[in-house]
Amino acid sequence: MAEPLIRFRGVTKVYGSGDAAVAALKGVDLSIDRGEFVAVMGPSGSGKSTAMNILGCLDTPTSGSYDFMGAPVGDLSRDQQALLRRHYLGFVFQGFNLLPRTSALENVEMPLIYRGVPAHERRRLALAALEKVGLQHRADHDPNELSGGQQQRVAIARAIAAEPQVMLADEPTGNLDTATSKDVMNLLTELNRREGITIVMVTHEPDMAAYAQRVIHFLDGHIAADGPHEEAA
């Protein structure tokens, strides 16, 4: 694997300016390869969310470079970032973020609409994604008719429907109980192993981080530790 999927070189991020300036990232070097399952940990304000936003092309670094699939993406325009997210990234959020009063199937179809996939093909792909998360029989249900765990699985189906290069999960089990969390983590592990999807997951819980092959600890805008989970934990 010559080229890492994701490479940060000396990435910094400063919010505000002058005396009010706050440095959220103070020079981060990081590379993630294709097929990895990485957990990102760290206390609030450690810079892990900022790093995830930059990684997800929702934000741009103040300085340093970010290469995605070997191409510099650190200073793309908003529209270019949107295209990159559309074609290469999938997002899973702590609060599920499904569209209310919209069926599971339609939620999963949404990223495919922006990709311009024709209706019947879209439906097929969305159903396939729902099948991968074991919810094909809930396709017509609205989010409020589903349990938390089911909603998160729909969200995961939405993230993988467009077959992204990376799935970015921001505390995917933060709103779930322990048993459901385990189900979701098993699902992510399975998707990582079987489908080869690269996963970068932010979490507070060492139990969840234990599912990952690699754990990165953020502290005060730096990477404090980076390695297989046994050592990092």
Partner 1 sequence: MLYETLKLSIRTIRRNVLRSILTVLGVVIGVAAVIVMVTLGQGTSAQVTSDVAKLGSNILMVRAGQAGFGPASATADSRNFDIKDVEAVENEVAGVAVAAPMVSRNLTAISGNINHAQQVIGTDNRYFVARDWDVSSGRTFTDGEIQAGSASCILGATTSQALFQGSDPVGETIRLRSIACKVIGVLASKGNSGFGQDQDDLIVMPLKAVQRRIVGHPDIQLMYVSVDSAYKTSDVQAGIEDLLRERRQVGPDDRDNFSVQDMAQIASMLTSISGVLTGLLSAVAGVSLLVGGIGIMNIMLVSVTERTREIGIRLAIGAQARQVLLQFLVEAVVLSLFGGVLGIALGLGLAAIGGRFLSVPFILNPTIVAIAFVFSALVGVAFGYFPARRAARLDPIEALRHE
Residues found near partner 1 in the complex (CB under 8 A): 53, 56, 58-59, 78-79, 82-83, 85-87, 89, 91, 93, 97, 99, 101, 110-111, 113-116, 158
Q: Nearer Cβ to partner 1, position 29 or 140?
A: 140
In one-letter notation, the amino acid at residue 68 is F
Question: Which residues, in sequence order, are bridge partners of residue 202?
Answer: 40, 170
Q: Nearer Cβ to partner 1, position 85 or 214?
A: 85
Residue 68 CB, shortest distance to partner 1, in Å, is 14
Residue carrying structure tokens 């997800």? 56
Residue 49 CB, shortest distance to partner 1, in Å, is 9
Residue 179 CB, shortest distance to partner 1, in Å, is 27
CA–CA dist 36, 11 (Å, integer): 21
CA–CA dist 47, 25 (Å, integer): 6
Residue 138 CB, shortest distance to partner 1, in Å, is 19
Contacts of 92 (CB under 8 A, 6+ apart): 152, 155, 156, 159, 167, 168, 169, 170, 172
Residue 123 CB, shortest distance to partner 1, in Å, is 13
Residue 85 CB, shortest distance to partner 1, in Å, is 5
Q: Nearer Cβ to partner 1, position 88 or 183?
A: 88
User: Phi and psi (nearest 5°) for 30?
Assistant: -160, 140
Question: Which residues, in sequence order, are bridge partners of residue 65?
Answer: 9
CA–CA dist 4, 33 (Å, integer): 5
Residue 18 CB, shortest distance to partner 1, in Å, is 21
Give the strands of the sheet with 37-41, arranged side by side.
89-92, 166-170, 198-202, 37-41, 214-219, 222-228
Q: Nearer Cβ to partner 1, position 56 or 149?
A: 56
Q: Nearer Cβ to partner 1, position 202 or 215?
A: 202
Q: Nearer Cβ to partner 1, position 83 or 210?
A: 83
- Give, for 25, the enclosing helix (H) or strand (E): strand 22-32
Q: Identify which of 203, 112, 212, 95 has the alpha carbon closest to the alpha carbon of residue 155.
A: 95
Q: Nearer Cβ to partner 1, position 24 or 232?
A: 24
